[in-house]
Amino acid sequence: MPDTTRRFGLAFSSLAVILTFAWGAFAQDAAPGKQPEMQQDKPAQPPKKKALDGPTLLVFDLVNDAGVDKGVANTLAEMIIERITNLKKYNVVGQKDLDKMLFWEQNKQLKGCTDTACLVQIAGAMGAQYYVEGSIGVLADRYVVTLKLIEASNVRVLERVTQKVKKDDATLSRTIEPAVDVIMGLKTKEEFAAMHEEKPAATPAPLGVAKTVEPSEKFDKRFWGMTGTFTGIGVMAVGGVFAALSKKTADDYAAAGSQAELDDLAAKNGTYNTLAITGVVAGGLLAATGGVLWYLGADEKPATAINVTPMLTPNAATLQVGGSW
C-alpha cells in the first residue's frame, strides 16, 4: 500500500509540473500587447539586370573643340551610349558610369585624358574589348562630327566616320544615330553621306509665268516679219497719199489769185510734204525690218527677199517694192 501511494504521488507531481510549464507558455503567448507572429509577405525585389554575354564597350565623352559647348558634347555622348545599348550586343559603359566606379576614384590622374595611350589604359583596366571615341568642332558654318570604333587590344581603328552638317542643333541630333550605325556596321558611309547631301534650291519661276516658254513661242520672226512688211507698205501708201495732196496744193497755188489763198495753200503744202516724207521713210524702215525678220523666220520656207526703195522728187514720191518668196 505505501508503494502504491508513493507511485501515485510521483505521477501526480509529474503531471503538475507539465501543466505548470504548459500554462506558463500559454500565458506568455496570450499576454496583453503580445500578438502572435504571423507570416508576412516580403515585398518583391526587383530583378537584377542580367549582364549581356557580349564584349564590354566603353564610350568616352566627345572632345569638344573650339566653338562647341562641353554640355553639347556630353549630350551627344549619351545619345551614342543609348544607341549602342539598344543594339543589345555589348555591355556598354559610359564615362559617367566610370565616375561611379572605385577604379576611377583610384586613378584620378586618368580623368580628363583624351590621348590614345590614356584611353587604351582605361579600356585595359576595365577589361573592355572595344571603345568609342570622337570629337565635335566647328568649321565655318558647319559642325564637324567624328566617331571612331577602336579595338583596345591592338589599338586598331575598326571604323571611323566624319561628317560636316549644318550648324543647327536639330540637324546635329539627327546625325548622331546614323553616324553610330556606320561605325557599328549597320549603315554604309554612302547611305550616311546621302542623308546630308544638300541639293541646290530650285529657282522659282517669275510671277505670272505659268509655264516655260520656248524661244519659238516667245517671238515668231516669220509672223512679225510679215506683219512689219505689210504694215510698212501701208504706212508708205499713206505717205504717198499725202504726197499726192502736196502736189495738188502746189498746182492750186499756181492758180490762186489772192494773197490769203496763197498763204493757206502754202501752209497746207508744207504740212502735206512733211507727212508724205514721214510716212514714206517710216513705212520704208518698217517694211525693211519686217522683210529681214520674215527672211530669218522662214526656216522651212523658200528663201525670201524683199526690196523696198522709196523715190522722192520735188514734185512727187514713189515707192518701188520688189522681191521673191
Where residue 129 falls among pLDDT bands split at 50, 70, 90? very high
For the cut 70, the answer to whether the pLDDT of residue 242 exceeds it is yes
| Residue 308 grid coordinates | 523696198
The gap from C-alpha 68 to its chain's centroid, in whole angstroms, comes to 22
For 259-279, what is each residue's pLDDT tens digit?
A: 777 778 788 888 888 888 988
CA distances for 125 relative to 56, 122, 237, angstroms: 12, 5, 108
pLDDT of residue 193: 81
pLDDT of residue 131: 92
Residues 136 and 60: beta-carbon distance below 8 Å: no
Sign of CA pseudo-dihedral 108, 113, 119, 121:
negative
Higher-confidence residue of 44 and 264: namely 264
Rounded CA gap, 74 and 13, in Å? 85
Determine the Cα–Cα distance for residues 157 and 159; give it in Å rounded to an integer: 6
